[in-house]
Amino acid sequence: MIEIIPAIDIISGKCVRLSKGDYEQQTVYSESPVEVAKAFEGAGCKRLHLVDLDGAKSNHIVNYKVLEDIASSTNLVIDFGGGIKSDEDVHIAFESGAAMITGGSIAVKSPALFESWISKFGPNKIILGADAKDKKIATNGWMDNSEHSIVPFINSYLEKGISKVISTDISKDGMLQGTSIELYTELLDQCPGIYLIASGGVASLDDLRQLEEINVPAVIAGKALYEGRITLKDLENENIRTHSC
């Protein structure tokens, strides 16, 4: 059964969603990320994907207080990303309550530093962010494109012990038009040992079923939850179904 991981993206301490990663296309859904997190926990969620969009843009953690507040107010297992570029950022994230951190841009631009975190904290606490447009890895809050093709990029880190990989097709993110089944099928086929966490484009329970059919183990859902395409009751029913299997 596929695990649904709700997402909370933060700008200026508020819960927002972007469209295609465009900071100019943002919608504020709540002034209180903590209350949103509590609602997800109340619907049976065990995990939370928390992204510091200010941090991603600024190249250092900004909204660590939101992480701290959610971690102290819930029992959610939080993976935190956005702006983690230094040992100090990693320290702040874990001290503020993150169970795991997600590194994307840093894995492209400073691989030796990212690998040192894998060695120091263990691969179970480090998630590789492999967000792509046209199968090329994007960095810096998706504002920049790299020349790294997604499959060899992921495989280079699987060889170094990473297993959990969050992959977002940027063209799908926030558009509520379905997920990148073709991309995820390719990753599952060509990246042996990957624990793939799909992200971007989830618009309905049918999208979850399609991901489940190709054996994607986990999926991040954001805008579909905030727009009511997948309700908290739906989420509760899916979590009952998942955790009872």
How far is the C-alpha of 212 from the C-alpha of 159, rounded, in Å? Answer: 26
Angle, in degrees to the nearest 10, between helices 181-190 and 205-213 = 30
Closest to 136 measured CA to CA, from 144, 121, 124, 148: 148
| Cβ neighbours of residue 122 closer than 8 Å, sequence gap 6 or more | none
> Which residues are catalytic, by number?
9, 131
The answer to whether 179 and 202 have CB atoms below 8 angstroms apart is yes
Other Cβ atoms less than 10 A from the Cβ of 68: the count is 15
Angle, in degrees to the nearest 10, between helices 87-95 and 64-73 = 30
